[in-house]
Structure 1
């Protein structure tokens, strides 16, 4: 179902000490074939997370289209398909182009598309039999899609509901219906359903209120005869998918598609705090699969050590990395481009040359910093090399 291109490992691969290129499968990351910093992904955690989310969606009667933009790693996407994923979600037409070339059969672009070049390509691919959808939240967006469809084929759209202060999506149900009617009245366009994103909302009551409004919008459009017999209703990031289940699953709205992307690797920061399985522990858990290894390169003054890892290597947009090993007495205070500042408590010894294991926050901005990532077993032997396509 999904192709994984062969990729050579050589001097271009960050973290791999392979000046002339050589095989790495079966090798320990500590055996001399790698250099620091190095991002690795633990296979056991990925396998457990994929199984957990597949079982969760099946248990609640939802289809799963995980957000591929989290990793853009074909090997991980294929694992999700093997576990029963319905399709993949992406954020941009360029990511959709990658999915098409990887052989992904169904793609949901969880974003608006107004670029006529991209719209023309999407219409051609739809005419060729590819199943692809995207969002619309304006009459201008409908007009751009209709112009592409007139000359190239047909396009499938979902009208998007947003919320005040959020990103895309109409803000009222009257606007939702107006855009839906514009789609219905345009030649070459098909309205497949409604969609929304609750992930930017900060508390449970506001999330529930938004999801209830989304359900009301789906019912309103269905009553007006603007939706197919079994419309798509899609929501569900990685922080509130339990509320999507509670407010939308079983409501008889149509085909519910959940899109959580960060669940495949989870993390040691933002999603560790925000995972829905903290609220419904009997449904989970998820496990942090990402590890960053970096070497202490300097201890220039008491209480301070510098590790050879920086913002080029590790994400900081949703919190700083945490020191996972040693387990206490050392903490990250800030990052430069290629240095991590470590606050070292009195009585704790950190020496130049020491290796430190870090946990990361936010996989979406970790994977895009690495073109090749070792997938390792629990003894840190390489079982595969993940290749990313950002």
Structure 2
């Protein structure tokens, strides 16, 4: 459960609340201009690729961001769990692709309750006959039909059938269940890594399309235009190209579902985006980092060493430690940031970051440091509220974050 809420006291009169003057730090900060750019950029990329976009909402679990993505043209939202799906539904989302298996009767009951709304459209994944049988029995008892998609995976990866033979057998098992509708096929390429990742991802996507064509030829799908979907936040360009090259777009609804693009990052996805731009000469500008965490310098106990009031409870650290970006003076508006990117965070504790101070940088207690992050999902996960700010760091909206 995320615990953090940046407290933004209301200023007197019409004065805008400002990060350096009014907000209790640490705070999750999202830059509006970069956010809006990213949402437009990815929607345009997917549309031009002949696909539709179902952003993975687990990245932010922020209903206000869901609404922006849908208003910009997203086909639906991808979620990871039944509970996330219920939260998205409560925020107005009416088409959900749950890129995961629906397992356990309490979770099935959540979806069955949502499906009593005829406006709600839901899809989930299956990869084993036991799950098919359990879903078929549960939804038949309630007089409902559940849309399912076969998940196709890779050896040593995450979920999914491991062979084409397993996929075909599972399709037969699904079609033996009157309460289930086989609506497509899904894969996730993000677990493919190493020196040969690009060629392996292309081969995996081509195999996914071949399976879809085979199932379609056999009449296994309940839709005239079934769904074919893959794509995380690193290799979406390869998936889009593979779907187009295999002629998937004309016979299938091709769904791409990156999520981290919405705020991007300063770490693993920044590196992945550089690779996308290297592969695609037609893309002249990429995504922009929109997410930061701001915190105070709280102690200067030794020369060249600062302790910042930021820790594991505030920022992701699984894919790299937070990266110092700018230093601001507390209370000084307009805020003029000094570059502190030569400083380094060497360790984080629960609520403290150890930072070496680069030569020539003079810090004082109360200085504010903005930090870039790597892997935005696990930073969002630590917060209940984020601050959407303009170019002057005025808080223009408080973004609620669900669990």
Note the aligned Cα RMSD (angstroms): 2.0
More displaced, 61-70 or 296-305?
296-305
Q: Decide which of 79, 93, 111 is 2:100's aligned counterpart.
A: 111
> Cα distance 1:13–1:340, how it changes in 2: closer, same or farther (>3 A)?
closer
| Aligned residue in 1 for 2:153 | 162
CA–CA distance in structure 1, aligned partners of residues 66 and 99 of structure 2 = 17
> Cα distance 1:121–1:39, how it changes in 2: closer, same or farther (>3 A)?
closer
| Aligned residue in 2 for 1:318 | 319
| Aligned residue in 2 for 1:14 | 5
Structure 1 runs not aligned, ≥5 long: 1-11
Q: Secondary structure at the match of 1:209?
A: helix
| Aligned residue in 2 for 1:4 | none
CA–CA distance in structure 2, aligned partners of residues 84 and 359 of structure 1 = 28
1:176-325 matches, cutoff 5 A: 176-202=167-193, 203-227=197-221, 228-249=223-244, 251-252=247-248, 253-275=251-273, 276-280=276-280, 282-283=282-283, 284-325=285-326
| Displacement after TM superposition at 1:57 (Å) | 1.2
Q: How many residues of Structure 1 are paired with residues of Structure 2 in the alignment?
A: 377
Matched-pair contact (CA < 8 Å) for 1:25–1:382: no
| Aligned residue in 1 for 2:366 | 353
CA–CA distance in structure 1, aligned partners of residues 360 and 191 of structure 2 = 42
Q: Secondary structure at the match of 2:19?
A: coil
1:35-46 matches, cutoff 5 A: 35-46=24-35
1:22-101 matches, cutoff 5 A: 26-31=16-21, 33-101=22-90
> Cα distance 1:23–1:268, how it changes in 2: closer, same or farther (>3 A)?
farther
| Aligned residue in 2 for 1:151 | 141
| Aligned residue in 2 for 1:331 | 344
| Aligned residue in 1 for 2:109 | 120
Larger relative contact order (Cα-Cα within 8 Å, sequence gap ≥ 6): 2
Q: Secondary structure at the match of 1:286?
A: coil
> Cα distance 1:359–1:25, how it changes in 2: closer, same or farther (>3 A)?
farther
| Displacement after TM superposition at 1:21 (Å) | 10
Q: Secondary structure at the match of 1:292?
A: strand
Q: Secondary structure at the match of 2:100?
A: strand
TM-score, reference length from structure 2: 0.89
Q: Secondary structure at the match of 2:350?
A: coil
| Displacement after TM superposition at 1:13 (Å) | 6.5
| Displacement after TM superposition at 1:128 (Å) | 3.4
More displaced, 167-176 or 226-235?
226-235
> Cα distance 1:278–1:269, how it changes in 2: closer, same or farther (>3 A)?
farther
> Cα distance 1:65–1:311, how it changes in 2: closer, same or farther (>3 A)?
same
CA–CA distance in structure 1, aligned partners of residues 349 and 91 of structure 2 = 35
CA–CA distance in structure 1, aligned partners of residues 11 and 106 of structure 2 = 39
Q: Is 2:134 aligned against 1:140? A: no
| Displacement after TM superposition at 1:287 (Å) | 0.5
CA–CA distance in structure 2, aligned partners of residues 75 and 121 of structure 1 = 23
Q: Secondary structure at the match of 1:99?
A: helix
Matched-pair contact (CA < 8 Å) for 1:127–1:154: no
Matched-pair contact (CA < 8 Å) for 2:340–2:361: no
Runs of 4+ in structure 1 over 6 Å off: 20-25
1:155-194 per-residue CA deviation (whole Å, 9 max, x = no partner) reads 0000000111111101111011111110011111100010
Structure 2 runs not aligned, ≥5 long: 327-338
